[in-house]
A and B are shown apart, each in its own frame.
Chain A
């Protein structure tokens, strides 16, 4: 049995010890973020039905709002749909002829078969977006697991890339997150660039050729390479000021609900041709736990260990 004095000392030590434990936990979370994130993903997967129940009234209200808007503007809506339908018929005819021409040209070039894109879809079960972070968790259920880095799209365009994979839930890092870097191609000027998120609504365009500046309104799509499906629509170029080209995303990043993930881990192979330089394979910079061990790889993310990792 402890004396009153000893008990007071022990009680006084509890808080500092727990604070020390919490600091250790923060350190572990910084060094091995994937391990902690895996636990959070597993919990989110288990909680998905509850989140679905919690957001049910909100979904219903939005649904009713949409229906009411449709009912009140029914004549206007009909006129707009007719106009859109005419435009779509025109685009359908054009795309059919372009697809036929594409097939013919590819057969001339002996292009071979394009890889089949497998896609899975999932509902957003948690929105982790805030001033620091822009990510969503998708409940993919029992579907085939996807790879890290697979691209995610909504009905309109690119949303982000898969950054964590759990048993039932995957985490998608949105394109406007500060840590997001995606290689892109400018469709009209055929130039390459990097799309970098900065936690604002519009990701920046960086590292483009200084001789080929992005054009205002130009379409931007993903650039195919190992781990990234090419040709996925992202948005349009817009200049916030003279030296700051950004991308206005097609996707509605603020209201994501159903998201598709294209699980493609292969790069499109260009046809052999004289004088064409083969693209270098993607340099893998992700930690290879099997070779060097998770401990040393985890530490490499933290200064000053990051300095030694380049040696």
Chain B
């Protein structure tokens, strides 16, 4: 009787441990993209004096939101996006709230087109992403022009947009490879 009881409690323990491990693994997979964005923002806020550092910071954050919202939305829940967006706002030099708004719009567009462009492939998604980023870049340019009380050079807008769009394929490859090596079961 006692041996039977011990075996049952052992099985129960194993089950709860496995469940705990699975829960932690799920939590890690959910938190990873948001943590990546926050760490990226902190690192890119350091004074490395790299040309286009601030624009690269914005581009990488938006690219991360687009990829995970599109290909694995479970890892980019909206409440986590909001929290990480508010934290990231502390480390950027864009007008306050703009990057958060931009992230939410990118998230919304990605969710909207997930099923519509199911057969579109990478280039169609990339084209749509570049249009979404263009709208955000124009908005940023307008806000900063209002603040400076003058029309700023449109080349700045183009630089921001091209850097954000240009860095996305690299980010995409890095995320696909990262997922492939960290979770081989997801990629048979």
Contacts and interface: CB of A to CB of B under 8 A. Distances in A.
Interface of A: 14-15, 18-19, 22-30, 33, 36-37, 39-40, 43-44, 47, 50-51, 54-55, 58, 124-133, 135-136, 178-179, 198-199, 254-255, 301-303
Given A126-B47, A178-B148, A199-B152, A131 B101 contact: no
11 contacts: A24-B97, A26-B98, A26-B101, A26-B143, A27-B97, A29-B97, A130-B160, A132-B160, A136-B47, A178-B150, A179-B148
Contacts of A126: 45-47, 93
A130 B96 contact: no
B52 A127 contact: no
A179 B159 contact: no
Nearest to A22: B101
B15 interface: no
B93 A130 contact: yes
Bin the interface of chain B by size. Answer: 35 or more
Interface of B: 42-43, 45-49, 52-55, 78, 82, 85, 90-91, 93, 95-98, 100-101, 104-105, 107-108, 111, 140-141, 143-144, 146-150, 152-153, 155-156, 159-160
A253 B140 CA distance: 24
B78 A30 contact: no
Given A26-B96, A179-B148, A43 B47 contact: no
Contacts of A55: 46-48
Most buried by B among A23, A36, A40, A130: A130
Contacts of A124: 47
Contact of B160 (A25, A131, A254): A131
B90 A22 contact: no
Given A15-B78, A43-B91, 19 more contacts: A15-B111, A26-B101, A27-B97, A28-B96, A29-B95, A30-B95, A30-B96, A33-B95, A43-B90, A54-B48, A58-B48, A129-B54, A130-B53, A130-B93, A130-B160, A131-B160, A132-B152, A302-B146, A303-B146
Contacts of A25: 96-97, 100-101
Contact of A33 (B147, B149, B153): B147
Nearest to A58: B48
- Of A47, A131, A301, A303, which is in contact with the most chain B CB atoms at under 10 Å from its CB? A131
Given A126-B47, A127-B53, A36 B156 contact: no
A29 to B, nearest CB: 3
B95 A22 contact: no
A54 B49 CA distance: 12
Given A26-B95, A26-B96, A30-B143, A47 B42 contact: yes
A47 B47 CA distance: 12
A19 B47 CA distance: 31
B101 A178 contact: no
Contacts of B149: 179
Contact of A28 (B93, B97, B111, B155): B97
Contacts of A18: 78, 82, 104
Contact of B49 (A127, A133, A199): A127
B38 to A, nearest CB: 12
Nearest to B112: A15
Contacts of A23: 97, 101
A36 to B, nearest CB: 4
A25 B94 CA distance: 13
B144 to A, nearest CB: 5
Q: Please provide the 9 A-B residue pairs with the shortest distance between their CB atoms, ordered closest to farther.
A: A29-B96, A25-B97, A131-B156, A22-B101, A128-B93, A26-B97, A36-B96, A130-B54, A127-B47
Contact of B153 (A136, A199, A255): A199
